[in-house]
Amino acid sequence: MPLERVKLLLVDDQPANLLALASTLESPELELVLAHSGQDALRWLLKEEFAVVLLDVQMPGLDGFETASLIRARERTGHVPIIFVTAVNTTDTHVTRGYRLGAVDYIFKPLVSEILKAKVSAFVDMFRKNRELKASEERYRAVFSAVGEAILAVSDETERILDANEAAVNLFGYDRRTLVGLHLDRLESESGGGPAVQGFDRYLRRKDGFLFPAEITEAAANLDTGPARIVVIRDVTERIQAAEAEQLREKDKMQREFVANVSHELRTPIAAIKGFSETLRRGALNDDRNRLRFVRTIEAHADRLSALVEDLLTLAALESGRDVPHPTVVEFEPFARELILSMAPLSGRRRVSVELDLCAARLYVDAKHLSQVLQNLVDNAIKYNKPGGKVNVSASLDRDYLKVTVKDTGIGIPKEDLPKIFTRFHRSSKAKELSIRGTGLGLNIVKHIIEANGGKVWVESGSNEGSTFHFTIPLAKGKIPVAAK
């Protein structure tokens, strides 16, 4: 007898990504429902029951984190497992935020089909088991006894264990007669506090006092003794240790790549300065035709070196926590207008017109940080534009935030570069092709600053289509100004 089809909800604003997910997961046993936005996903969840939601993090408008928060807030959907699918937000901060919002797992792009299928299959199996548990007492008993994971039946009224399968007996180290009847508190850690940050639900205690990280899934059941919960417990010690080891390897890899990139970026201006200095010392000082050109070349490379060192120092201060935001109330419209108009000489040299469509808003933000973000994005919009092109800087209110948009008519960013555009030292292939200079750190600094000030930043672009950068900053509603330090 064929299995009843189980529904999966796939959420991504990019049709190509949805197609890739659907192609990987296609199965006669699964019904795949595609949602193109967070709002679309919420509407589907009100109508249908899903075994798991695969949710893209980086979406315009209602992003993955906000969508997950709304899913968890609804009684009907609060229990639905959420797996975040992401290519950009892979830092410890974002992973932690995802788990706090109720994610059961993360899948990082590019997708590995075997891993994706295995994870989804586990939740589909759990969904079927939970549905069977709810269906009837007889089927509950069959599944309860057969499942290899630790399962407890717990009374809603007394919080005492009503039943335990063999796997639970082995996991906790009690004999079955002792385990049944224990108050659930006896199995929980007294230390409590904070394990969800590490990607599991809580620590549980074995009979010998040993604590282990546990992932817990619950489903309601009506037993002869009254309302109860079926609690499925997984010891995720090995998974946590493997994740920590992987994080250490990833950090070590990033540090080695960072040192290599810094060395590469420093080598070119240093070599140029040294080479032209030696040329001048060996006789070019007396070369009336070329010596001024050599000196100007040295100055240009010194400026490039200075910009790189400045960006490195800024990034180091942000990542180490030395440069924390000192927010004050900022009147956005005059602040932004004055800053952007001061960049007129640059736009004039590039023959790029800058249009402002700003609105009045009181922000709660570090003024120095806001200045850095605006200057970086507008400078890029001018620098990567075409002669005679346009830059439009606009702002609009979006609930408790101001949304600022910097749009240009420039060379654009190829689609394949978009997932990496906010990473350190990444420069788009188009910029390299046109030999447009940059440190490759500016957008990474922008991302750090925006997130530290409580906002988010994203981009929409394509090769030769221009680029549109958006960022949000909290409004100053009810905020008390804090003097800048």
Tell whether 247 and 362 lie within a shared domain: no
pLDDT number for residue 334: 95
Q: In the chain, what percentage of residues exceed pLDDT 90?
A: 33
Of 168-177, 303-312, 390-399, which gets the smallest average pLDDT?
Answer: 303-312
Q: How confident is the model at residue 396 (pLDDT cuts 50, 70, 90)?
A: very high
- Single-letter amino acid, residue 194: G
- pLDDT above 60: residue 33: yes
- Helix H, strand E, coil C: the string for 145-187 is HHCCCEEEEEECCCCEEEEECHHHHHHHCCCHHHHCCCEHHHH
Output the DSSP codes for 105-153.
Answer: EEEESSP-HHHHHHHHHHHHHHHHHHHHHHH-HHHHHHHHHH-SSEEEE
Give backbone dihedrals phi and psi of 106, rounded to 5 degrees, phi first. -125, 140
Mean pLDDT, to the nearest integer, of 136-165? 78
Tell whether 170 and 104 lie within a shared domain: no
- Give the neighbor-by-neighbor strand order of the sheet with 457-461: 353-357, 390-398, 401-408, 467-474, 457-461
Tell whether 231 and 369 lie within a shared domain: no
- Continuous segment of H or E residues that includes residue 217: strand 211-223
The residue range of the domain holding 10 is 6-133
Q: How confident is the model at residue 113 (pLDDT cuts 50, 70, 90)?
A: confident
Answer for the pair 402, 456: CB distance below 8 angstroms, yes or no: no
Instruction: For residue 11, give the CATH number of its domain.
Output: 3.40.50.2300
Q: For the chain, how far is it from start to end, CA to CA, in angstroms? A: 71
Tell whether 288 and 334 lie within a shared domain: no
Q: Cα(180)–Cα(467) distance, rounded to whole angstroms?
A: 63
Backbone conformation region of residue 464, classed left if phi is above 0, alpha if psi is from -120 to 50, else beta = left
Q: Cα(68)–Cα(83) distance, rounded to whole angstroms?
A: 10
Q: Answer yes or no: is 182 within a domain.
A: yes
Closest Cα to residue 371, out of 329, 406, 402, 340?
340
Tell whether 226 and 274 lie within a shared domain: no
- pLDDT above 90: residue 394: yes
pLDDT number for residue 438: 56
pLDDT number for residue 332: 95
Tell whether 285 and 400 lie within a shared domain: no
- pLDDT above 60: residue 140: no
pLDDT number for residue 98: 65
Give backbone dihedrals phi and psi of 462, rounded to 5 degrees, phi first. -165, 160
Instruction: For residue 312, give the CATH number of its domain.
Output: 1.10.287.130
Residues 453-470: pLDDT tens digits?
999 999 998 877 899 999
Residue the block writes with tokens 């590469």? 264
Q: Cα(311)–Cα(430) distance, rounded to whole angstroms?
A: 22
Q: How many domains does the chain have?
A: 4
Q: Answer yes or no: is 1 within a domain.
A: no
Tell whether 198 and 251 lie within a shared domain: no
Answer for the pair 339, 452: CB distance below 8 angstroms, yes or no: no
- pLDDT above 60: residue 301: yes
